[in-house]
């Protein structure tokens, strides 16, 4: 086993503080590109997470530290946030935080500059970010057709170079239905490793890694069927995330250019079709969560990619 601290080294040498009129920003640069940009007045703390790599295994940027069994023989790390796309620059990225999601004109917390992003504005020219995708639209992410026949073939989003996920193609993949099912219902101690939560004011669902230990001073109650039992402020979530926790925000769904159920419902896609009309996915609300859910191919869903150990 070897331990790496590459993330910390890159961040320490790449952080620059730049004054922009009335505010100061922290910017993390990698290979000439801005990886992260934040107003320092909104930063509570900066944490460097040390990831342990098994011998012979190298992970790309954007990997969360938690290890999750998705079959009797396969384990994965998940990406640092939901997948996002900017059409105007043809750029893919992961959300900066696990609790970030685009939403619609009112709900959501993703901005481009000072302008709030909105999934309803999806188009091949849109300058903002979107994060709800029809099934298998890796090469046509702005497709808004409501005809299932236009989504007949699945192309995994992981074929794309993701700017803050290694920036190389074929580094990530979408879980299959069987893998989501194993994560929720089959892995050892699964009943105690998942449940609804609210993180930094955002509703969603937490999966804990296979061998989880609670951070000092924090607790988790499995399957509470409410948003209030497991509530974590941003600073508390940093400790939970460092312990391996995965958070899937309730980002809603998209049908054509209509956005529904933002903050109330989540639908996370699998790579497995049920038939020519439906695709398997993970659904959850405040009072329930299950897979197999089934959503029509054309419905825009959230995408959380993984990397196999």
Single out the residue in 17, 43, 58 at which a domain terminates. Answer: 58
Q: Does residue 147 sit in the same domain as residue 257?
A: yes
Q: Does residue 200 sit in the same domain as residue 51?
A: no
Residue found by looking up tokens 């940027």 in the block:
61
Q: Does residue 29 sit in the same domain as residue 178?
A: no
Angle at 139 (CA atoms; ends 93, 65), nearest 5 degrees: 35
Single out the residue in 42, 58, 74 at which a domain terminates. Answer: 58
Question: Over the chain, what is the mean pLDDT?
Answer: 88
The Cα 271–Cα 281 span in angstroms is: 9
Predicted confidence (pLDDT) per residue in 202-222, tens digit: 999 999 999 999 999 999 999
Predicted confidence (pLDDT) per residue in 59-76, tens digit: 568 999 999 999 999 999
Q: Does residue 75 sit in the same domain as residue 197?
A: yes
In this structure, the number of other CB atoms found within 10 A of the CB of residue 108 comes to 24
Q: Does residue 27 sit in the same domain as residue 161?
A: no
Q: Does residue 6 sit in the same domain as residue 130?
A: no
What's the average model confidence in pLDDT over 6-12?
30
The Cα 286–Cα 101 span in angstroms is: 17
Which residue range forms the structural domain that includes residue 32?
Answer: 2-58
pLDDT at position 56 is 43
Q: Does residue 117 sit in the same domain as residue 235?
A: yes
- Better-predicted residue by pLDDT, 10 or 37: 37
Single out the residue in 21, 37, 58 at which a domain terminates. Answer: 58
- List the one residue out of 98, 87, 62, 100 whose CA is nearest residue 306: 62
Q: Does residue 144 sit in the same domain as residue 277?
A: yes
pTM of the predicted structure, to 2 decimals: 0.83
Task: Please count the residues of the chain.
Answer: 309
Distances (CA, A) of 45 to 85, 121, 166: 27, 33, 24
């Amino acid at each position: 086993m070897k331990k790496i601290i590459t993330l910390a080294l890159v961040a320490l040498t790449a952080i620059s503080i730049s004054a922009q009129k009335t505010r100061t920003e922290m910017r993390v640069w990698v290979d000439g590109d801005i990886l992260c940009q934040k107003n320092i007045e909104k930063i509570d703390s900066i944490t460097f997470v040390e990831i342990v790599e098994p011998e012979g295994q190298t992970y790309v940027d954007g990997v969360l530290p938690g290890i999750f069994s998705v079959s009797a023989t396969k384990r994965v790390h998940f990406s640092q946030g939901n997948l996002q796309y900017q059409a105007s620059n043809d750029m893919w990225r992961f959300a900066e935080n696990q609790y970030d999601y685009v939403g619609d004109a009112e709900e959501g917390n993703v901005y481009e500059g000072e302008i709030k992003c909105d999934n309803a504005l999806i188009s091949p020219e849109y300058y903002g970010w979107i994060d709800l995708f029809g099934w298998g639209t890796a090469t046509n992410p702005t497709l808004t057709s409501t005809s299932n026949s236009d989504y007949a073939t699945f192309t995994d989003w992981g074929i794309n170079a993701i700017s803050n996920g290694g920036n190389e193609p074929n580094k990530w993949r979408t879980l299959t239905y069987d893998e989501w099912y194993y994560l929720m219902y089959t892995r050892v101690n699964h009943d105690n490793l998942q449940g609804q939560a609210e993180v930094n004011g955002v509703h969603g669902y937490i999966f804990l890694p296979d061998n989880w230990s609670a951070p000092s001073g924090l607790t988790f109650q499995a399957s509470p069927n409410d948003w209030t039992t497991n509530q974590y402020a941003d600073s508390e979530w940093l400790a939970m995330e460092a312990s391996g926790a995965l958070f899937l925000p309730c980002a809603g769904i998209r049908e054509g250019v209509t956005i529904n159920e933002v903050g109330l419902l989540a639908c996370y896609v699998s790579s497995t079709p049920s038939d020519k009309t439906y695709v398997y996915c993970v659904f959850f609300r405040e009072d329930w969560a299950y897979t197999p859910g089934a959503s029509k191919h054309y419905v825009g869903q959230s995408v959380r990619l993984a990397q196999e150990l």
